[in-house]
């Protein structure tokens, strides 16, 4: 150890054993006089210390921690190890020399270890000077003896690591040496080099534009055929500051490759795949290993995979391979992937057993197989009759996986999706990304994402206008809505210039109510006290739009988002009155009765109230007069009522064209407002809109709105629909004509227009999403006889078990389950299939009419009777089981959109006749 240290004049020794140690440089020749050594006693031998990481000289960026590893030995036992880093500034001959701590020192107790490697991170000090420092590691034994090792450390240069090579490693000439270079510098790295000197002089260079702060660079260093002797390798990285960091040199020995190689390589295999796999997923196969150090190098790396179907009893084989020219010495690693094969796509979920063998073949055709072990193996290979390579007398690595339905496309930049709208005419799915302040555009036909559309802050709810040429976006981070033009209707040529129309951004105004108290003072004069509802102190009414829908007249019905300040959610409608040009926003209040207060008048839908005094009467009394201010709905024309007694002012304002509302009592703010997310959904014909309150103590509410009467038709407590009084509404939806709705809680609750509970579907815990068949309509209600249609009276519910349950939305039993890879975590939408989905299949359809007799589309003909008891056969009937009945689009925990083709066979999977 001492002789090794004497040969390194750049090294530094530590003088003294206390915390105020003095550090000095030692000379290039002769004994190191400042090396701590024996302290006397029975143990006169100090420990041996060697810094094994980083290599000397080392480099490290300013302000970055440094990993140090040191090998420590002592026959009597090591007591502790101290790590330090210092810079030396000034000139000792001039008396200006100083020692500056550049890393916070760290002492590690070892409890009498005799042979160990100690690794610790050293934290930098706040000093940002770029300079050359010294790293010192000192070991102390229990007799008080100490020994140190030091190295040079360039501060302000990239940190570099040269991997997969070791000092003294032998390599055959003519082979490729697989090396890896890792480099880091927060200023950015512009260039990485691998340099060799000695038996072969080469420089491999790779540049990076733009610069990168972290680099992992794999390459193969090819040794010329005639090269023999010592070979020094070093890795270098250059930063944007034109400062270079180096690791090495590492000395290798190049020997002649003339001798025959008879030793097999060694390697291992690792498999990785989701527990549930879609047809587009992959099994990742990683094969790694190395040849004998004296061998001819790895020439080929590959795998052989068997896909075994336990149900069908058949097996298919696939394989893959990569070849190196020239062969490579050192560690090699290759990653392969293959999609599920030997799958029955019409009988999902399908269970497969994958058995995979990895192999490595060297330059002299010695073959080694690997079948799943934490350590390298050298199992003999054998070739099958079809040419694939497997292990001889060894079981392959096994992977049992379930192949499920759906095709998931991940969001390009991540985020959180709050709402979704299907534009079937243009074949786009719109998704509000609240984290990215944008709307994602998913092409249904190609199943890919287009460029997103920036909108307002924290977009939440989405809906289409009546003309279905504009997407309306509720910007819940503000008090406005964006309008995005959807482009021409051409399902086969996507419009890619989507942009918000800035001139059409809708700014929502404040909405206030007033409570006016009438009282007599001591003189008998009438006084009015005006209370603004809500008052100036929190909580107030939230104006931030959340979920939304557009009714058949073009009105926007929306909820508002509660805030961290406690602002209360509301439900509102925005519209342009007939003959007007300005949008009006009014808040729904009808779902809450006024509080009894005979001396109060509750007033709404006006702009302001002023109070003045009348002229004195014969007794000298001056009564309060009210002046009510408003505007003609849809215009900027200001109108007033009064000054007059309050009731007269109300009548005058109404006569002037105001939409004022007034009644005896006080506004019931808790009854009008909402404390949690309030969902909004419209029927397919836009004739009905439903609001679902997330939660409230003691219960939430479900509220129906009818477009034809422009009023709330009914209100029902959640306890009237759901079995648990504290259960939350977590999603809500309506069918095409509003005759059936679904509220998603712990279970799925189905209700009719009059908010009467029609049925309950049990669900496993968790999950999200509920969708009715896009042609679900004409459900029997008290108002309409309707007719059960087993082909369309279907619901689809996401569960916490990673399934989409198919529910008969009349008998409310589960018809089938579609297993998917991830769990539904967001909205679920349903749409009819595209014509090409059923191309080449026998798929008969039938017309479907809603409760008003209007044709709303054509549905796949699934059942031979109107009762749903007799399904058509799987093959040979008017509709094959492979026919797609509808498509589902959902947001899942996998961070993307899953597309699911719901086939006739899926709907009939649990049918008694099958």
pLDDT in tens, 161-208: 998 888 888 787 887 888 899 999 999 999 999 999 999 899 999 999
pLDDT digits (tens, 9 = 90+) for 562-609: 877 778 899 999 998 988 888 899 999 999 899 999 999 999 999 999
| Contact assessment for residue 791 and residue 814, using Cβ atoms and an 8 Å cutoff | no
What Cα–Cα distance (Å) separates residue 674 from each residue in 102, 450, 542, 656, 837?
A: 58, 36, 10, 33, 43
pLDDT at 617: 85
Residue 626, judged by CB atoms within 10 A of its CB (0-12, 13-18, 19+), counts as buried
Split at pLDDT 50, 70, 90, the class of 159 is very high
Strands 741-744, 884-892: parallel, antiparallel or unpaired by DSSP? unpaired
Cα–Cα distance measured from residue 655 to residue 678, given in angstroms and rounded to the nearest whole number:
36
Q: How far is CA 238 from the centre of its chain?
A: 35
pLDDT digits (tens, 9 = 90+) for 423-455: 999 999 999 999 999 999 999 988 999 999 999
pLDDT at 726: 60
What is 70-116 written as a DSSP string?
EEEEEEEEEEEEEEEEEEEES-GGGT--EEEEEEEEEEEEEEEEEEE
Check whether 306 has a pLDDT greater than 80. yes
Q: What are phi and psi of 389, to 5 degrees?
A: -100, 130
Residue 95, judged by CB atoms within 10 A of its CB (0-12, 13-18, 19+), counts as exposed
| Residue keyed to tokens 């879609």 | 278
Check whether 221 has a pLDDT greater than 90. no
- Percent of the chain whose pLDDT exceeds 90: 67
pLDDT at 568: 87
pLDDT digits (tens, 9 = 90+) for 274-293: 999 999 999 999 999 998 87
Q: What angle do CA 821, 825, 827 make, to 5 degrees?
A: 110
Q: In angstroms, how far apart are the furthest CA atoms of the chain? A: 131
Under 8 Å CB-to-CB from 835, ≥6 apart: which residues? none
- Percent of the chain whose pLDDT exceeds 70: 93
| Contact assessment for residue 576 and residue 553, using Cβ atoms and an 8 Å cutoff | no
Q: What are phi and psi of 720, to 5 degrees?
A: -75, -20
Please measure the distance between the N-terminal and C-terminal CA atoms of the chain and give it in whole angstroms. 81
Cα–Cα distance measured from residue 23 to residue 15, given in angstroms and rounded to the nearest whole number:
6
Interval 19-24 mean pLDDT:
38
Average pLDDT over all residues of the chain: 89
Check whether 34 has a pLDDT greater than 70. no
- Rg (C-alpha) for the chain, rounded Å, is 39
Interval 111-133 mean pLDDT:
90
Under 8 Å CB-to-CB from 817, ≥6 apart: which residues? 803, 804, 805, 806, 909, 910
Residue 474, judged by CB atoms within 10 A of its CB (0-12, 13-18, 19+), counts as buried
Interval 472-478 mean pLDDT:
95
| Residue keyed to tokens 């409760």 | 851
């Amino acid at each position: 150890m001492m002789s090794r240290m004497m040969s390194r004049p750049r090294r530094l020794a530590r003088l003294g054993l206390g915390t105020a140690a003095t550090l000095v440089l030692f000379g290039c020749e002769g004994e190191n006089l400042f090396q701590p050594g024996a302290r006397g006693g029975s143990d006169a031998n100090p420990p041996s210390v060697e810094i094994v990481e980083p290599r000397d000289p080392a480099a490290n960026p300013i302000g970055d921690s440094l990993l140090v590893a040191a090998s420590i030995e002592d026959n009597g036992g090591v007591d502790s190890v101290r790590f330090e880093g210092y810079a030396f500034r000034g000139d000792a001959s001039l008396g200006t020399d100083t020692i500056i701590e550049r890393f916070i020192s760290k002492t590690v107790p070892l409890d009498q270890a005799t042979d160990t490697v100690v690794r610790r991170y050293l934290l930098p000090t706040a000093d940002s000077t770029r300079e050359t420092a010294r790293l010192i590691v000192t070991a102390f034994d229990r007799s008080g003896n100490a020994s140190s090792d030091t190295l040079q450390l360039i501060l302000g240069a990239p940190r570099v690591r040269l991997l997969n090579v070791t000092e003294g490693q032998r390599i055959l000439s003519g082979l490729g040496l697989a090396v890896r270079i890792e480099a880091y510098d927060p200023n950015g790295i512009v260039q990485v080099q691998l340099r060799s000197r000695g038996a072969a002089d080469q420089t491999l260079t790779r540049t990076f534009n733009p610069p990168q702060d972290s680099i992992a660079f794999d390459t193969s260093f090819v040794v010329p055929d005639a090269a023999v002797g010592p070979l020094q390798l070093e890795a270098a990285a250059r930063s944007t500051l034109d400062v270079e960091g180096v690791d090495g040199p590492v000395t290798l020995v190049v020997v002649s490759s003339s001798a025959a190689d008879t030793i097999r390589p060694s390697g291992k295999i690792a498999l990785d795949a989701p527990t549930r796999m879609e047809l587009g997923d992959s099994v990742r196969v990683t094969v790694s290993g190395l040849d004998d150090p004296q061998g001819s190098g790895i020439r080929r790396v590959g795998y052989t995979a068997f896909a075994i179907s336990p149900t069908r009893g058949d097996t298919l084989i696939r394989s893959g391979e990569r070849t190196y020219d020239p062969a490579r010495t050192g560690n090699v690693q290759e990653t392969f992937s293959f999609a599920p094969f030997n799958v029955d796509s019409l009988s999902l979920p399908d269970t497969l057993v994958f058995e995979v063998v990895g192999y490595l073949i060297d330059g002299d055709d010695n073959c080694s197989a690997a079948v799943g072990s934490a350590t390298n193996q050298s199992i003999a290979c054998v070739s099958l009759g079809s040419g694939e390579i497997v292990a001889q007398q060894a079981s392959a690595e096994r992977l049992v996986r379930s192949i499920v339905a759906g095709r998931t496309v991940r969001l390009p930049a991540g985020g959180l999706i709050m709402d979704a709208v299907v534009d079937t005419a243009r074949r786009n799915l719109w998704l509000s990304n609240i984290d990215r302040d944008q709307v994602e555009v998913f092409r249904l036909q190609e199943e890919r994402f287009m460029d997103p559309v920036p909108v307002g802050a924290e977009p939440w709810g989405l809906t289409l206008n009546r003309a279905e040429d504009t997407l309306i976006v509720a910007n819940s981070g503000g008090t406005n809505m964006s309008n995005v033009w959807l482009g021409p209707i051409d399902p086969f040529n996507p419009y890619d210039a989507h942009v918000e129309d800035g001139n059409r951004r809708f700014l929502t105004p404040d909405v206030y109510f007033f409570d006016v108290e009438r009282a007599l003072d001591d003189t008998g004069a009438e006084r009015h006290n005006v209370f603004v509802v809500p008052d100036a102190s929190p909580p107030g009414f939230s104006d931030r739009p959340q979920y939304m829908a557009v009714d058949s007249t073009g009105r926007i019905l929306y909820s508002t988002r509660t805030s961290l300040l406690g602002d209360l959610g509301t439900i509102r409608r925005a519209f342009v009155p007939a003959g007007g040009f300005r949008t009006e926003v009014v808040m729904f209040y009808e779902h809450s009765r006024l509080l009894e207060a005979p001396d109060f008048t509750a007033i709404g839908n006006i702009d302001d109230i002023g109070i003045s005094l009348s002229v004195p009467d014969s007794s000298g009394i001056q009564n309060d007069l009210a002046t009510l201010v408003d505007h003609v709905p849809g215009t900027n024309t200001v109108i007033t009522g009064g000054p007059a007694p309050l009731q007269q002012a109300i009548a005058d304002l109404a006569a002037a064209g105001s939409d004022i509302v007034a009644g005896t009592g006080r506004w019931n703010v808790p009854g009008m407002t909402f404390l949690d997310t309030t969902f909004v959904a419209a029927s397919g014909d836009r004739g009905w809109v439903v609001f679902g309150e997330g939660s409230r103590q003691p219960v939430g509410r479900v509220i129906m709105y009818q477009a034809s009467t422009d009023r709330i038709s009914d209100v029902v407590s959640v306890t009237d629909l759901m079995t648990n009084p504290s259960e939350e509404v977590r999603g809500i939806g309506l069918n095409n004509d509003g005759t059936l709705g679904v509220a998603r809680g712990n279970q799925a609750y189905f209700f009719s227009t009059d908010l009467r509970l029609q049925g309950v579907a049990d669900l496993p815990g968790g999950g999200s999403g509920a969708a009715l068949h896009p042609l679900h309509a004409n459900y029997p209600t008290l108002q309409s006889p309707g007719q059960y249609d087993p082909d369309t009276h279907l619901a689809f519910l996401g569960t916490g078990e990673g399934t989409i349950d198919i529910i008969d939305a009349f008998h409310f039993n589960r018809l089938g389950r579609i297993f998917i890879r991830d769990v539904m975590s967001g909205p679920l939408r349903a749409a009819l299939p595209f014509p090409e989905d059923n191309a080449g299949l026998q798929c008969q359809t039938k017309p479907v009419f809603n409760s008003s007799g209007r044709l709303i589309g054509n549905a796949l003909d699934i059942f031979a009777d109107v009762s749903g008891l007799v399904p058509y056969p799987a093959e040979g009937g008017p509709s094959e089981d492979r026919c797609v009945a509808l498509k589902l689009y959902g947001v899942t925990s996998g961070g993307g959109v899953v597309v699911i083709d719901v086939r006739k066979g899926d709907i009939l999977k649990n049918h008694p006749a099958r």
